[in-house]
Structure 1
Amino acid sequence: MSLSSHLTELKKKHEHLSFEVEEMEKSPATDPLKVAMLKKKKLQLKDEISRLMDA
């Protein structure tokens, strides 16, 4: 897998998580721990994207 395609996949995953977190936060029955877990995963993806773009 090339670097650009890997970055594209990571960005897609990050965008999907953003959407998922946003939708979950609209619902009053959302588990706050699940939201926190998704936000942490989203941040990890963002860090990896930044690291790869700087390399």
Structure 2
Amino acid sequence: MKVKEWCMFCGECAGVCPRNLIEVRETSIRFSEDMCKECNICIDACPVRALER
């Protein structure tokens, strides 16, 4: 998962991840990519389209 520089760290992506694989901090996002099933729900939930595969 790539996080673009305009990410607001709002946490919307973490809130919708069905596997709870995303952790949002004040200025960073951590993903457990090895467990991700690439459902893209987090990408679709981002209000500023800051996530991409």
- What TM-score do you get using the length of structure 2 for normalisation? 0.30
**Greater share of strand:** 2
**Greater share of helix:** 1
- What TM-score do you get using the length of structure 1 for normalisation? 0.29
Higher Cα Rg, which structure:
1
